[in-house]
Amino acid sequence: MSRTLHLALHPYGVGGPGQHGLWKDPRVAKNASIDVNYYIRQAKAAEHALFDALFIVDSQFINATYPAHYLNRLEPLTLLSAVATHTRHIGLVGTASSTYNSPFNLARRFASLDHISGGRAGWNVVTSFDTGTARNYGLDEHLDYATRYGRALEFVEVARGLWDSYEDDAFPADVARDVFLDPSKLHELGHEGEHFKVAGPLNLSRSPQGQPVIFQAGVSEEGRDLAARVAEGIYAPGGSLEQAQEYYADIKRRTAAHGRDPEHIKIFIHGGPVVAATDDAARRREREIFDEDNDLGRNLALLGRSFGAYDFAAHDLDAPFPDVAHLAEKGGRTAAAQIIARAREQKLTLRQVAESANAFRRSPFVGAPETVADTIARWFAAGTFDGINLAFRTDDDLELFVDGVVPLLQRRGLFRTAYAADTLRGNLGLPVPANRHTREPVLAPDA
């Protein structure tokens, strides 16, 4: 096959949504989520296995019902800057909100990570659906859906403009001529838009990959369109093979409609593989993991996140699902709308909705190494993803995948046997963006 599979690693720490009980596992350090050495070990293991990227999620609001990892974790860019000094090739992708940041400050922070890592930074652009975040930023209410996505589009455009503040040869540093900067190669931005007014320039030059890689996770119509407009990597919802195919084809179509090359957007689906010596052992372990994490109180709290961290515990569990549609607009609107529609159509109680939201669903990527490799190969060939964002509960589980599955993918010619480049763009096969002031595109090595 001419296409190359991409793999990313998403560390669980002490356990996020769907892994509420992970912190109880004796193999998991109770301070894993705030121990930079935990992330460094994970990054090194993933880099040894030639993974494309380490992906760090984030949010800026919690209450006591949130998963253990959410309650006590490191800020992504600080964390990834530390990891950068212990790795050489693996990409470093951090989540940051376009709703609760300023473009100049965030552009500078990601550009700094890009320099520290030698061109391996990526930004996962989120609009934040935790409505309580607003109160942490002096606002009474969370912005509505349309405003959040309009702001996100403009935010990315401003950041990209700031990243082009200097042309690549702006610093001759010629002692003989007493010229450090060629001022003609420094450009103010002068942006005035609906949401932002930013003068610029940024006080940082472009990195070896030109600009950080933009990632996004678009599910709603607005999210899919934003992804097709600006994203170079997407974290897709996954689901069944047919659902993944639909999403993949839709995003590639939208990307082309916006005048972009569909090959310049890499779609990653979530994968939580369970690998064991036999298929039966892996399936048993998959069910055990579900049972370990299945707790009604936690499921109610998780359900509440789609409705702005709403406290469903205040309602009668066996009464019809409450009318909370008004909370969806400023929360996770797409997921909330789906939950409400299903509850109405099937006349479900709150208890039934909470239980079904975390019902046992068999993952396709479970089994002996050969089985998991077969499934990945089949899904990849069927046009469901360009890569998988992998999450493993423990270091042992990561090792089982790296030692058992990765070599099989390499033998089939699906996965690399050596890094193609030192930058994240190079390894993803993405072009270096042309500086808007020179317009000379530089192509990255094929990957």
290 assigned to some structural domain:
no
CATH (domain of 216): 3.20.20.30
Show which of 357, 377, 402 is a domain's final residue: 357
Distance CA 254, CA 350 (A): 37
Same domain, 176 and 27: yes
Written as one string, the DSSP assignment of 79-127 is HHHHHHTT-SSSEEEEEEESSSS-HHHHHHHHHHHHHHTTS-EEEEEE-
Over pLDDT 70: what percentage of the chain?
96
DSSP state at residue 212: P
Distance CA 418, CA 323 (A): 54
Residue 341's pLDDT is what?
A: 87
pLDDT digits (tens, 9 = 90+) for 50-66: 999 999 999 999 988 88
261 assigned to some structural domain:
yes
248 assigned to some structural domain:
yes
Same domain, 343 and 417: no
Q: Is 402 within 8 Å of 45 (Cβ atoms)?
A: yes
pLDDT above 80 (res 276): yes
Q: How many domains does the chain have?
A: 2
Per the structure, the complete domain to which residue 100 belongs is given by: 6-280+364-428
287 assigned to some structural domain:
no
pLDDT digits (tens, 9 = 90+) for 65-117: 889 999 999 999 999 999 999 999 999 999 999 999 999 999 999 999 999 99
Residue 335's pLDDT is what?
A: 76
pLDDT above 70 (res 364): yes
Binding residues for FMN, as ranges, are: 58, 95, 149, 220
What average pLDDT does this structure show over 120-133? Answer: 90
Same domain, 247 and 155: yes
pLDDT digits (tens, 9 = 90+) for 6-48: 999 999 999 988 788 899 999 999 999 999 999 999 999 999 9
Same domain, 249 and 333: no
433 assigned to some structural domain:
no
Omega before 17 within 30 of 0, i.e. cis:
no
Q: Which pLDDT band holds residue 330 (cuts at 50, 70, 90)?
A: low
53 assigned to some structural domain:
yes
Binding residues, as ranges, are: 58, 95, 149, 220
Same domain, 207 and 259: yes
pLDDT digits (tens, 9 = 90+) for 138-177: 988 888 888 999 999 999 999 999 999 999 999 999 999 9
Residue 356 or 447, more confident: 356
Same domain, 183 and 233: yes
Same domain, 70 and 151: yes
DSSP state at residue 394: S
Q: Which pLDDT band holds residue 405 (cuts at 50, 70, 90)?
A: very high
Torsion over CA of 424, 427, 429 and 433, rounded to 10 degrees? 30
Show which of 327, 357, 387 is a domain's final residue: 357
421 assigned to some structural domain:
yes
211 assigned to some structural domain:
yes
Query: pLDDT averaged over the chain?
Result: 92
Same domain, 187 and 334: no
Same domain, 265 and 333: no
Same domain, 136 and 247: yes
Same domain, 299 and 423: no
Q: Which pLDDT band holds residue 381 (cuts at 50, 70, 90)?
A: very high
Residue 446's pLDDT is what?
A: 46
Residue 93's pLDDT is what?
A: 98
Same domain, 301 and 275: no
pLDDT above 80 (res 309): no
